Structure 1
Amino acid sequence: MAQNDPLAPSGRFAVVQSGAAQTPPMGWNPWNAFHADVDEAKVRAVAKAMVDSGLAARGYRFVNIDDGWALRRLADGRLQIRSNTFPSSHVEGSATGSFKPFTDALHALGLKAGIYTDIGRNTCMQRWDAGVPNLPVGSVAERQVGSFGYAVTDMRTIFADWRFDYIKVDACGVADYTPADPPVTSGAYNAFPPLIVRGNIPASDPKAIEGLYAALGDAVRRWGGETATLSICAWGEALSVLWGPRRGNLYRTSPDIESNWKSMLANIDSVVDGALYAGPGHWNDPDMLEIGHGDFDAAHPTEARSHFTMWTIMAAPLLLGYDLRHPDPALHAIVSNPEVIAIDQDAAGNQGIGYRDGDAMVVVRTLAAAGTRAVAFLNRGAVPVEARVSWRQLGFAPGSHARVRDVWARRDDAAASDLIRVTLPAHGSALLRVTGTPADPGAVPLDAMPARIHVAVDGLSRANALPMGRFPARVGATPDGAPLIAGGQPVGGIGVFANSRLEVHADRAFSRLVATPRVLGGTGPVRFQVYADRRLVQEVSAAPGKAASIVADIRFASVVELVTRQPSNGGRPPMVAWSAARMVR
């Protein structure tokens, strides 16, 4: 095996999976409610309301400050807090002030405290909100309050001294301060040659961006410990959803959500096919909840419930953003429903798998309880539709009966067999918990365990990467979205490109891996290899349009790795599939 071969087995599951964020983080962020007009009094009042209303007891524990808290960076590199908006930070004789009284107050309520920075020299608010209050002050250098060049010292201050538990790290500072940007041409800010060119992966520098976040993440863990939470906010740019599982606990998949239905659908689409990129300790993040605003306010309960349903089924972080000091009972009933929250927080950590039929969308999520699935139905359109889910999509034995619970109504419905149909109003949704008999009780399809799979190598380079919102490895489909079919029937499995390597966290729980690997295009054969704890246990070859058969002995293996190889011609490798792949107990 060649030295420095990226396809060489590692023998480890190389994603963030321990310590922080074992379930998707839940809490509150002030940006959607107050934008830049935020202060300590508002934040602490909201924190108290979270406790008094019972939201904290339901899991909403993070209270996060967003942009606007930093006054300036001092000549010695330390950050000075804006004490006029956070008065408890004032410390007699201190040039910087301290957030510790503020975080102590939140911790005393049983909550956790979060804060904000940027991976560049300057923040998003400085670039895009020039007229708002709470901007940094002073010289050009003093207003450089982002973490670039200060990652270690800033994280030491934030976590070791100020005792924060969570940090959101934006990326405007490495994207939006080009020599041609007005804030730079005006002389207000220094230029930063862009490492992210929005919407243009080949012109961006994903390795440099990953390196910045990796160094900052190391500092977070050094000073905050393994329970400190890192939120990467690079909006899905620079391939961040592909390397995010190795670097952070949550990572944005989309531009900022807006308070309208179209924006919400776009953010769903940015994440729904990415189940192989999420799991305990590392989550896809389609952005904060817009419940309480615009199309999702108290006058639009149908849309608000659909919004919450979809974030839940996608195992997304649940960060509220409306003013909880003035709660609305209808919104509170939505965001506090314990059975819905339990699905989002399910211990298995599997993100749901999506299916589309026009405006009808179904997302199926495998839960930790044996034979149990959560199923979300969504009407993306403005007229009623019927949505359905089949026993094949649920992985149930044909003809078997299943128990059905309506999670929003918190009631048991009649048992069902082979198919469940629901009629949805415009923008409507339903959320069911379905418990049935697995089609093969002695095995677990890879489709049903995406949280145990890490795409270590996807076969693509920056030059031939897929567009934003497209994932190079998919559950039950090829990377271009075509279902995996054999003999005219869906067979499930994992679709990916050749020259890829998948890590499967087997955890010594399985004896065999069974699959029918296929080559879906190209001109030459592809080798399919199975490794168990770095030991090659089976290798087969398949020609384009053909399939092979694998029954691999993986007894006692902690990590199983699925490798595909084909000599590279410099272009995009062919798509391949680990069809009908399953782990046998």
Structure 2
Amino acid sequence: MSCRFRRFRRGLLVALVGMLIAAAMPLMAAPPATASGNGQSVRPAMGWSSWSFVRRWPTEDKIKAQADAMVSSGLVNHGFVYVNLDDFWQKCDANGFVVDSYGRWSVDPAKFPSGIKALADYIHSKGLKFGFYVTPGIAKNAVLKNTPIEGTAYHAADIANTAALEKNYNCKNMYYIDYGKPGAQEFVDSWARQFASWGVDYLKIDGVGSADIPDVRAWDKALRATGRPINYALSNNLAIADAPTWRSLANSWRTQGDVECYCGSGSNGSGYPLTDWSHVSARFTSAANWQQYASPGGWNDLDSLEIGNGDQAGLTSDQRRSHFTLWAMAGAPLLLGTDLTHLDPVDTAMLTNDRLIGVDQDGYAAGRIVSSGVNQVWSKREDSGDYVVALFNTGTSGDSTVSVNWSQVGFTGSGDVTDLWSGSHKGTVTDTYSATLRPGETRLIRVTPLGAKTVRYQAENAGTSAGSTVDTNHIAYTGTGFVNTANEAGAYVEWTVDSATARTAPLTIRYANGTTTGRPMDVSVNGAVVSAGRAFNDTGSWDIWADSTLTVPLNAGANTIRVTATTAGGAPNLDHLDRG
């Protein structure tokens, strides 16, 4: 099979997974924050990170081996594409990090004799993406040597606050940067340019606390300035009080400390087990608390997914399925922490279950609707009008019967149920769904309401007039983007909407208008205007979405719904159309 065909098949399979994923409706209000808008992480990142398994001893050969295994195992065909080198790639001496001529960390040549760019090139040659690691501040050695800041007349000592040390987990000795000093942003810019030149696609900045917001902002600005698309991740245990800030600057943020138990038999708790159930189950509460801040472009990071090496990772098979289910329902990044060169077949089947991946990649974080002792239920709605519902027994002993009423989920009456782990069809269930679960077990289902349901039609999948673009540079849109039409009268978006019968039905158009003037549109159904010059007034910001609902006549079968701008400003940004 040719390399070109393998890439085509891989891309086709990933695309088909995406087509099968129905986007869900968030259960809570959109976060009151601007978005990073860097175009990255429209869906949560998927891949592998070195910390859990490789830990403090990464090498060029180890990282290459994991990249090879990601391809040979077939994980890449299911969307796992990032290979992330975490901490301990650097060289240290008695004063901390050894630095280059511009004060930036030096690569440990014993671990990476070919250099980081060569490693990134190798990973890219596999059709994968390369992730890297840094922490805030400037190295003590840079200050002691007073290294110049690349491209400026400034030096390390000009920008360092030597009265305070940053958090660092490896060589320590990182001073805070005083961003009120000239040269501070330029120092971070030079580091970001170096990473971009090496081929970095994902950057984790670790040890971030609220005092590091200036660093997070500086790195965001620096990464954008490189011109290279770089997924920007923050770690770890970030303050929820600053969630709007994290969301405005980054693509993901760690909501708790490490998922690793540090209880292995090796030095510093390395080796197996990698984690335990208490470290995983602690994420239920944080996932619920942070849910409102997740949407396309920015995700709540629950830490590594410790699935791949069977029971030796520290979790039973039931607990591993619950681990994956929670991450998927939360819309968390799926970054494996296990050894991909020794995958367990049971775990491989879990990780390549496209129904589970689809739940993670649908673009929404579920809300928790039941929390009673060891029983929990989470739910989110799909564009099709279906609901995805997860039931958990989070206990460590004893079976428990977990129940949920469809009214708690979001509809009434009967629903047609499919088990997403097995793919088996369970038939019609009326009013209440129950499952008796073993300790640590989960049940994940898709429910199709058998009565009236609301179906969502995304604007990015609709027909549009010339000059329209699908954009992602504002928060809280649904699907994979929103439509930004040309600024002209006559600009339009047109959906094909199905109806089982001829009837009148409610339509809801979701839009954003960040100007101070209205952007009226004609709404037509099957060529006839049903609402002329309908007002779509300012929403206060391009990041704030509003709904406009009207009732229209529909024919049985396919119907054409068009909204057409009537002024030179064009249409507002359009997210989706809901048909009741």
1:38-437 to 2 correspondences below 5 Å: 38-71=58-91, 72-89=98-115, 99-121=116-138, 135=171, 150-159=187-196, 161-171=197-207, 196=209, 206=210, 209-225=212-228, 227-237=229-239, 239-258=241-260, 259-291=275-307, 297=313, 300-346=316-362, 349-355=363-369, 356-368=371-383, 370-381=384-395, 382-396=397-411, 398-399=412-413, 401-436=414-449
CA change 1:76–1:29 in 2 (3 A) is same
Secondary structure (helix, strand or coil) at the match of 1:69 reads: coil
Give, in whole Å, the separation in 2 of the partners of 1:141 and 1:252.
Answer: 21
Q: Is contact 2:253-2:300 (8 Å) kept?
A: yes
Give, in whole Å, the separation in 2 of the partners of 1:321 and 1:390.
Answer: 36
Q: Which runs of 5+ in 2 are unaligned?
A: 1-31, 92-97, 141-165, 178-182, 261-274, 458-471, 485-492, 496-505, 519-533, 547-576
1:16, distance to aligned residue in structure 2 (A): 3.0
CA change 1:410–1:531 in 2 (3 A) is closer
Normalising to structure 2: TM-score of the pair? 0.63
1:442, distance to aligned residue in structure 2 (A): 8.1
1:112, distance to aligned residue in structure 2 (A): 0.1
1:171, distance to aligned residue in structure 2 (A): 2.0
Give, in whole Å, the separation in 2 of the partners of 1:383 and 1:267.
Answer: 21
- Describe the superposition over 1:384-418 as per-residue Cα deviations: whole angstroms up to 9, x where unpaired: 1111222222222x22x322111111221112222
1:63, distance to aligned residue in structure 2 (A): 0.2
1:102, distance to aligned residue in structure 2 (A): 1.1
- After superposition, the CA RMSD in angstroms is 3.9
Give, in whole Å, the separation in 1 of the partners of 2:473 and 2:129.
Answer: 28
AA aligned opposite 2:123: L
Work out the number of aligned pairs and report it: 414
CA change 1:260–1:554 in 2 (3 A) is farther
Give, in whole Å, the separation in 2 of the partners of 1:361 and 1:343.
Answer: 18
AA aligned opposite 1:42: K
Give, in whole Å, the separation in 2 of the partners of 1:340 and 1:47.
Answer: 23
CA change 1:405–1:557 in 2 (3 A) is farther
Give, in whole Å, the separation in 2 of the partners of 1:240 and 1:85.
Answer: 37
1:541 matched residue in structure 2: none
Give, in whole Å, the separation in 2 of the partners of 1:141 and 1:277.
Answer: 31
Give, in whole Å, the separation in 2 of the partners of 1:276 and 1:15.
Answer: 13
1:522-537 to 2 correspondences below 5 Å: 533=514
Compare 69-78 and 40-49 and name the one that shifted more.
Answer: 69-78
1:293, distance to aligned residue in structure 2 (A): 7.2
1:351, distance to aligned residue in structure 2 (A): 0.4
Percentage identity across aligned positions?
28
Give, in whole Å, the separation in 2 of the partners of 1:423 and 1:117.
Answer: 45
1:295, distance to aligned residue in structure 2 (A): 7.0
Give, in whole Å, the separation in 2 of the partners of 1:414 and 1:557.
Answer: 46
AA aligned opposite 2:77: A
- Describe the superposition over 1:506-540 as per-residue Cα deviations: whole angstroms up to 9, x where unpaired: 989997799xxxxxxxxxxxxxxx99646699xxx
Secondary structure (helix, strand or coil) at the match of 1:70 reads: coil
CA change 1:86–1:169 in 2 (3 A) is same
**Structure (1 or 2) with the greater helix fraction:** 2
1:13, distance to aligned residue in structure 2 (A): 7.7
1:554, distance to aligned residue in structure 2 (A): 6.3
1:253, distance to aligned residue in structure 2 (A): 0.8
1:559-578 to 2 correspondences below 5 Å: 559=542, 561=544
CA change 1:429–1:17 in 2 (3 A) is farther
1:19-30 to 2 correspondences below 5 Å: 19-30=39-50
CA change 1:422–1:428 in 2 (3 A) is same
Secondary structure (helix, strand or coil) at the match of 2:53 reads: helix
Give, in whole Å, the separation in 1 of the partners of 2:374 and 2:345.
Answer: 30
Secondary structure (helix, strand or coil) at the match of 1:33 reads: coil
Normalising to structure 1: TM-score of the pair? 0.63
1:273, distance to aligned residue in structure 2 (A): 3.1
CA change 1:122–1:75 in 2 (3 A) is closer
Secondary structure (helix, strand or coil) at the match of 2:52 reads: helix
1:143, distance to aligned residue in structure 2 (A): 14
AA aligned opposite 2:112: F
1:81, distance to aligned residue in structure 2 (A): 1.3
1:178 matched residue in structure 2: none
AA aligned opposite 1:310: L
1:566 matched residue in structure 2: none
CA change 1:506–1:391 in 2 (3 A) is farther
CA change 1:53–1:513 in 2 (3 A) is closer
1:209, distance to aligned residue in structure 2 (A): 2.8
Compare 310-319 and 229-238 and name the one that shifted more.
Answer: 229-238
Give, in whole Å, the separation in 2 of the partners of 1:27 and 1:60.
Answer: 4
CA change 1:252–1:296 in 2 (3 A) is farther
Secondary structure (helix, strand or coil) at the match of 1:153 reads: helix
Q: Is contact 1:33-1:321 (8 Å) kept?
A: yes
CA change 1:223–1:360 in 2 (3 A) is same
AA aligned opposite 2:285: D
AA aligned opposite 2:61: A
AA aligned opposite 2:201: D
Give, in whole Å, the separation in 2 of the partners of 1:379 and 1:235.
Answer: 25
* 1:31 matches 2:47: no
1:78, distance to aligned residue in structure 2 (A): 3.7
Q: Is contact 1:363-1:377 (8 Å) kept?
A: yes
1:141, distance to aligned residue in structure 2 (A): 7.9
